Structures are given as C-alpha cells and as structure tokens.
Structure 1
Amino acid sequence: MSLLAFGEALIDFLSNGGTPETFTKFPGGAPANVTVAYAKLGGKSQFCGMLGQDMFGDYLLTSLNEHNVDTQYCLQTSIAKTALAFVSLDANGERSFSFYRPPAADLLFHSTDFNIQAFTSNNLFHICSNSLTEEAIYETTMQGLSLAKTHRCLRSFDVNLRLNLWQAPQLAYERIWQCIRHCDILKLSREELDFLLSQMQHQQESEFIASCFSHGVSIIMISNGHLPVLYYTPTFCGESQIPNIEVIDTTAAGDAFVGAMLFQLNEYLNKNKILSQLINEEHELKSIMDFATLCGAIACTQKGAFPSLPSMEDHDNFRLKIMK
C-alpha cells in the first residue's frame, strides 16, 4: 500500500440548480475523494474512518470498493448516522454547503480504533480539517498524525475548511495550526490562507510560510480558483497554470489535485528518493504540480466527486487535447 487517508466519507446531495430544486446523491467526503483520486490513477490507497450502519454508509463502502479503494480499516457503527452534505452550485460551478453533522458516524472513530498495520503498510498519511471540529475526533486525528510519524509516513494536510461546522473561528485556527505543525505537506486555498492570517493579527503571507517551514513543513500549495496554483519549498517557489475549461462542478477539484499530487509524489519516492531531495529539485516538483493541476481541472468538468476524478487515461487524453 502507499496512501492511507483518515477522516469523513459522506453523501453529497448535489443540486440541479432548478426550480423546484432537486438533489442527486453522490459519494464524497474530502479524504475519501483523495483515496479514490489516487486509486483511479493506478495507485494503492486505503480509507480509514467510521460510517453509519445505514443505507448511506453501505453505499459509501460499496462506492469506495468499486473504485479499488481498500476499506479494511473503514468501520461502521449503529450509534450515529452517516453524515450528509447538501451542495448548491452557482453559475460558475462554485459550491455552498449545508451539512447534517454533528451528530454523525465519522465523529465516533476513536484512537483505539486505529490499526497499527494501517501505518506500517503505507508511506503516506492524509487528513483534512473536518476531522478536527469536535474535541474527540480532533484528539483522534492528532493520534493518527503521531502514529504516522512514528511509522515514518509522510503526513499530508489539506485544510479544506468548512467554517459552518465549527463552534468558533479561533478554535478552527488553533486546531488547524496544530496540524500544520505536524505535517510535511500542506495544501490550502487562498481563502483559507486569508482566514489563518486574519487570526494571526494579520501576519504577512511570507511570515506564515516561513513559520510553516520552521515547524517542518516541506511543501506548501495554495490554490486560488482559476488562477495559478502557487507552491513553495524552503529553497524555491513556483506556479502551475490552470487550463481553460468549462466549469460544471468544482466539488472535487481540490481533492483531485491532492490525490494526483500524492500519487506523483509516491512515484518519485519509488525511485529510491526522499522528500528532502524533492524540495531542491525545481524541475521535478514543477512536473508533479502541473500533473496535479491538470487533474484538478479535469474534475471540474463533470458533476459529483468520485465520478469526476480522472484516470491516467483521462489525464493523458485531456493533456493532448489542450496541447493541440
């Protein structure tokens, strides 16, 4: 195995934008999306989390398995239901969310539910901030990061902030920053960066980036809608252009990007290289970022999360198309 992602899998009910408005069921949840993105490109991934013993939990489990994601560390409970998210899209395909959570099954995964083999059999561990919103799941997530470090997994964190799930912005900032201090790879959007800076007495962006590096982060990636993705290492920075596309649904764009980036990173590591080498190899990292950015763009061209995540064939065909 190579990628273990921990956190929520949930149902995205996606609006048709009509009147009357109707919603269609899609499997989703950021960490789950990343495992599917990774698997559809040909990688081996595992999803770790808690689902409800209900029709939605069964549907998610089946959907993950159908996309070749290993779910042996995905548990189910009768105590709470699977989380739901109703997603409306504006004219540009941008989303607004209404969550039915808490309570939800994914919040009930405890640190004792982790299987050590999940960490010893993978070399990448990925999380998002939705598994930080409640005290118990926050402590579980931090335990996961600790286990990943102990077993020498590179730790990836996509902030993926949904403020309407939080009791207070300051709490979100504090817990997100704790995770940043324990990760190797950090992905955030421009809006998420602005939020963090606002909670830090308007610290400058350059100071924030330097602070991340001082705590051990090796790669920082900042997305900003249709604008280029910016990326930073302690030794250089760069940007990756987003191709012109017809945007249908941006729901899984960030997860497609992260899954593709981690897939390419693992391909790099399989060449008997290490992360400390990559942060000094500008051309190599540029290639990884361009690949991931293209995968993120492809995901915007159709509705839903799992269905929109590209395969390697999708990537290659799309790349040839835009090069013509």
Structure 2
Amino acid sequence: MSTIICLGEVLFDLLANENGVSSENVKSWTPLPGGAPANVACAVVKMGDRSRFIGCVGKDEAGTKLAEKLTNEGVDIAGIQYHPTAPTRQVQVTRSIDGDRSFGGFGNISTDKFADTQLSQVPVELFIDADFLLLGTISLAYPISAASTWKAVELATEHEVNIMVDINWRPTFWTSVEIAIPKIQQLLAKADYVKFAREEAELIYGERLPQALCKYLPKALGIFVTDGSNICEYWLNGETGQQPAFTVDTIDTTGAGDAFVAGLLHQLGTGQSGAEIVRYASAAGALTTQQAGAIDAQPTDTEIRQFLQM
C-alpha cells in the first residue's frame, strides 16, 4: 500500500448531456466532480492505496460538495484550503459522437479568478511518510498556485518522495503556449516519472518516443506516452515496450487518463515489469470510459484484475 499526495485542481466538470453538439448549442449540463489530481486521488484509493489531496476550493456550495465527495471516496483532505471569495471552478465539457471529450470555457468568470489558482498552503506533515507526489501542470499557469507547486517539489525532494507529473495540457487555462512550455519543462526536469499524451510530448519536446524523451528528462526513471485508444509506449528503468489500448464500449473518456496514471502509481512500488505495470494501468483507463464522469466510473483493483483475466 502506497501513500500518494495529489496536488492541484478539484472542480466540477459540466458534462454536456448531448453528444456531438458544440457548447453554444448544449441544452443542458450535468455537473460531475473532477479535476485531474482529484480524480487520481480517488482512483488510487479504489485500487487499495492511501491518498492525500492538496488544493483550494471556494467557501461555497460547490467547494463543500467537492470536499465531501473526496472524503466519501476515502481521500484525506487535510490539505484542502477554502478561499473566502474566489469561487470553485466549473468547466464545460462537450463530447463527440464517439464520447471523446473537449474542454470549453468557464462561463462568465476569468480563468485566473477561481479558487484553485489561490492555493497557498502546502502542509509539510503530509510529506513525511508519503511515497509519491502527483502533480499536473495547470497549477503552473497562476502565480500563487505555481509557488505552491514548487514548494511541494521542494518538500518531496527533502523527504525522498517520488514525483510523478501528468502533463494534462489544457490550453484554456493558459494565456499562451509560449509562456506555458518553459514552465512545464522546468517542472518536468524534477520528475521521477512523467506521463505524456502523444500530442503533449510532440508539443513540448518535438518527440513522441519515450526513449527519445529521456535526453530531456535527466531525473526520470519512467516515461509513459499514451495515444488515446491506440497504444501506450513506455520506458521504465531501461525497459521499453508498447501496450495496445483495450477495446471496450466507450460512453465517456473523461478521467480515463487519470485512471491510467492512478494505475501506474498503484503498481510502480510493486517491483513488477514495465509491461505488467502498463497493462494494469491501461485496463484501469479503459474501464473508466464505460460510464459517464471521472470519479464514479473508476474501477476497483478487483474489477481491473478480473478484466485482465478475461
């Protein structure tokens, strides 16, 4: 059993109730708890690990509901901060006919005015006995949350906590790509494990193969590059390989990448081969697509292992 700290955003995904419709033409939305770090925090608990979430929500109904959701999922929320005026973030998510998602806007509120941008407290005690720190890159887009992200990196280094970064590139959170890429590269240089989507690797480094990405990531022990419903290519402690994506009846891809990351974190401390670790993670991601939403759709360790035996 590993102890995993997840730092970053927790929010409501406003999921379009109609597939294949632009956000302007969506008639109704269903609010579902989300945010990549929060999704991972919940997923690893279902797999049998301990998780701690560090993030900031508004002192509003949405923030209260999200904190309750994390607690009900078994996540330690001692690291949650409540901002007195900034609202909890909600983001519009549209889906294609096939269920692939696209992130839209934030309504009438500027992206830098939400509570998650104001994360300013990183409790030291959460790092003392932790095994992994999971970071995204959205928090780097805002000065206050960026400073907290770097404080977490400092604490993880001090307490010998392995750092995993999931790029989770979302251009709507940034003012420009030119500003984003150097900041992301600076964080990746500190990571022990990095998970890219193929297009993220090509955007940031102009490469897609994990072994080619090694030269940019001197500290990395593992690099994983996913390509949606195609394959995952990986480099882990010198082992390279590919894992084809599992074919399932997909309803909604929201949270699939987060479940994949959770599967990696759950398996990395077990001493298994790269092939076994990535196969488990790929199954976790695939199973998450069979229901709507990111958290409620996440599979348990038992469900993943049963799926792999089929």
Q: Structure 1's 206 and 299: CA in aligned 2 closer, same or farther, altered over 3 A? A: closer
For structure 2, the 5+ residue unaligned runs are 20-24
Structure having the larger proportion of residues in helix: 1
Q: How does 1:269-280 map to 2 (within 5 A)?
A: none
How has the CA–CA distance of structure 1 residues 106 and 206 changed in structure 2, closer, same or farther, with 3 Å as cutoff?
closer
Shift of 1:316: 2.7
Distance 1:121 1:223, change over 3 A: same
Summarize the Cα distance change of 1:36–1:106 in structure 2 as closer, same or farther, 3 Å threshold.
same
Give runs of aligned pairs for residues 54-65 of structure 1, distance below 5 A. Answer: 54-65=60-71
Choose the corresponding residue for 1:309, options 268, 293, 298. 298
TM-score, with length taken from structure 2: 0.92
SS at match of 2:203: helix
Identity among equivalent pairs (%): 28
Cα distance in 1, alignment partners of residues 48 and 208 from structure 2 = 39
- The alignment partner of 2:30 has SS state of strand
What is the aligned length? 300
| Counterpart selection for 2:285 from 296, 316, 319 | 296
CA distance in 1, matches of 2:284, 2:9: 22
Matched with 2:142 is 134
Paired position in structure 1 for 2:117: 107
Amino acid at match of 1:239: Q
| Structure 1 residue 206 displacement after superposition | 6.8
Q: Does the alignment pair 1:186 with 2:194?
A: yes
Tell me how far apart the structure 2 counterparts of residues 265 and 89 of structure 1 sit (CA, whole Å): 32
Match of 1:319 in 2: 308
Matched, 1:226 2:232: no
Q: Secondary structure at the match of 1:232?
A: strand
List aligned pairs for 1:98-247, cutoff 5 A.
98-100=104-106, 101-110=111-120, 113-197=121-205, 202=206, 208-213=212-217, 215-233=218-236, 235-247=238-250
Residue 274 of structure 1 corresponds to none
Give the AA of the match of 2:53: F
Quick check: 241-250 or 97-106, which moved more?
97-106
Match of 1:307, SS state, is coil
TM-score (norm 1): 0.88
CA RMSD of aligned residues (A): 1.7
- Structure 1 residues 13, 210: closer, same or farther in 2, change over 3 A? same
Give, in angstroms, the shift of residue 20 of structure 1: 5.6
Determine helix, strand or coil for the equivalent of 1:145: helix
C-alpha change, 1:20 and 1:9, in structure 2 (3 Å) is closer
Aligned partner of 1:23 in structure 2 is 29
CA deviation digits over 1:169-203, x for unaligned, max 9?
11111011011101100001011112113xxxx56
In structure 1, what is the Cα distance between the partners aligned to 2:26 and 2:63?
28
Q: Residue type of the partner of 2:62?
A: F
- In the aligned structure 2, how far is the partner of 1:204 from the partner of 1:29? 25
2 CA distance for matches of 1:236 and 1:260? 18
Distance 1:264 1:210, change over 3 A: closer
Deviation for aligned residue 1:318: 2.4
Which residue number in structure 2 is paired with residue 275 of structure 1? none
How far off is 1:121 after superposition? Answer: 2.5
Instruction: Give the drift of 1:139.
Output: 2.1
Structure 1 position 43 matched with structure 2 position 49: yes
